[in-house]
Amino acid sequence: MNPQLSRRRFIKTVIASSVAAASHNSFPVAKAHHVGDGYVDRLITIIVNGKKRRVDVMPQETLAYTLRYKLGLTGTKIGCNRGECGACTVLIDDVTNYSCSTLTHSVRTRNVTTVEGVQSDDGSLHPVQQAFVDELSPQCGFCTPGQVMSAVALLRENPNPTREEARQALSGNICRCGAYDHYLNGVMRAAGQRS
């Protein structure tokens, strides 16, 4: 999905994809439902931050739940658990998604990137992360992983955004501290437009 999509279209897309997936015959939710708990299909492989992870997933399990509670990737935060705040934003095949509103079974063959997966292999911070540090973008920090992921997705799609484009791209991420201005400063710094 284009990270410049509006929040409304974004949410509609998430809902539509869930409906489409649920109606698909081979979807593991339906299968698991018929055979009951413990059926082998619950044990699936997902690709998170470039690594294959074997995980036992309930039919109704959200990606946020799997990441946090099964894989210990607690950088992904659950702020609302209903697709309103964006604290749980991850990338699925480079596209921002609310992981609280994504079923884990629907991402089996796709690449999931969380905030833990954006640093370089040598451990250095991603330019977005470094810029957020330099601009003192986070306040309480609870929304920050989601802001990082939305900004990373934006710059992959559009390495040279205007401030307004950045504002639109991050608009699905609520920050109760009101640090929007400093997050946008961070995005523009990461894009090389601010020093």
Which one, 23 or 120, has the nearer CB to other proteins?
A: 120
In the bound state with other proteins, the residue whose beta carbon lies nearer, of 88 and 95, is 88
CB of 167 to other proteins, least distance (A): 5
Least CB distance from residue 172 to other proteins, whole Å? 8
Q: In the complex with other proteins, which residue's Cβ is closer, 12 or 20? A: 12
Separation of alpha carbons 34 and 27, rounded Å: 12
Strand, coil or helix: 51? strand
CB of 115 to other proteins, least distance (A): 4
- Is the torsion defined by CA of 17, 155, 77, 32 positive or negative? positive
Nearer to other proteins, 106 or 137 (CB): 137
To 10 degrees, what angle do helices 180-190 and 127-134 make?
130
3-state secondary structure of 50: coil
Helix segments in 78-162, DSSP class H:
127-134, 144-157
Q: What DSSP character marks residue 17? A: H
- Looking at the Cβ atoms of 84 and 94, the one nearer to other proteins is 84
Contacts of 37 (CB under 8 A, 6+ apart): none
Which of 109, 121, 114, 110 lies closest to 98, judged by CA? Answer: 114
Residues contributing to the site for other proteins (CB under 8 A):
7, 58, 68-69, 73-82, 84-85, 87, 114-116, 119, 125, 128-129, 132-133, 135-145, 148, 163-164, 167-168, 170-171, 173-182, 184
User: DSSP class of residue 81?
Assistant: S
Closest CB 31 distance from other proteins, rounded Å = 19
Q: How far is the CB of 28 from other proteins (least distance, A)?
A: 17
